[in-house]
Structure 1
Amino acid sequence: MAKGGFPGMGGNMNSLMKQAQKFQQQMEEMQKDLGDKRFEASVGGGAVTAIANGKRQLVDVKIKPEVIDPDDVEMLQDLIMSACNEALKKAEDETSSEMGKLTGGFNMPGMF
């Protein structure tokens, strides 16, 4: 067996470990950066706005008072749900895009 490696590995184990550590650091930095980002979506001509972060958590919902109609609660519920889903979709898309850049397109299940 070659010094510092395993048969069939084609390289130095120390080099592989350094690459893994670098990848882990890049992953942690990316997760922090994404967690700090905000993704906003408005529906109903701006009647409802939802804001999510890169951790795919809803952080704010804004509703214009004029869209609050006690006789049409279902419409407001639909607007809220649509705005939240759109904001979360934007966060998911950005996360996937950033992950693809980091992994070179290699899909790693369970990472996000």
Structure 2
Amino acid sequence: MGTHISVIGNIKEIRTFDDKPFVCLEVSSIGKYGTVQKGLPEPTREIHHTVLVSKKQLNRIEKEVAPFDVPLLGSEVYVWGIPTFDLTYDVLEGDFGIITQEIKSLTARKTELDWIERGAYF
């Protein structure tokens, strides 16, 4: 089993290609203060990830946000996948790439919980 990485961040850009079977989501994340152990440096900048998702994964996540009238662009996502630096320059825009194994919309989940709390979710 290879190395996997988990990332939580916001989708800043969605790029599609006519000649490739995947879509690139440019996801930006920054470490939250207080999450590092004492004595370690605090995170100082955003990290930009090029997240490769299949078109099927993209359709599924679009369906997650659709009932809540939340745009996918700008929404917060959880990504679990395999990190890679071996992408061509026309694909890789972020600091490194992630080949997605799992992706979930955290914005849709938070909105759903908010609706349930207010009794507006049926």
TM-score (norm 2): 0.26
Instruction: Give the helix-richer structure, 1 or 2.
Output: 1
TM-score (norm 1): 0.27
Structure with the greater alpha carbon radius of gyration: 1
Instruction: Give the strand-richer structure, 1 or 2.
Output: 2
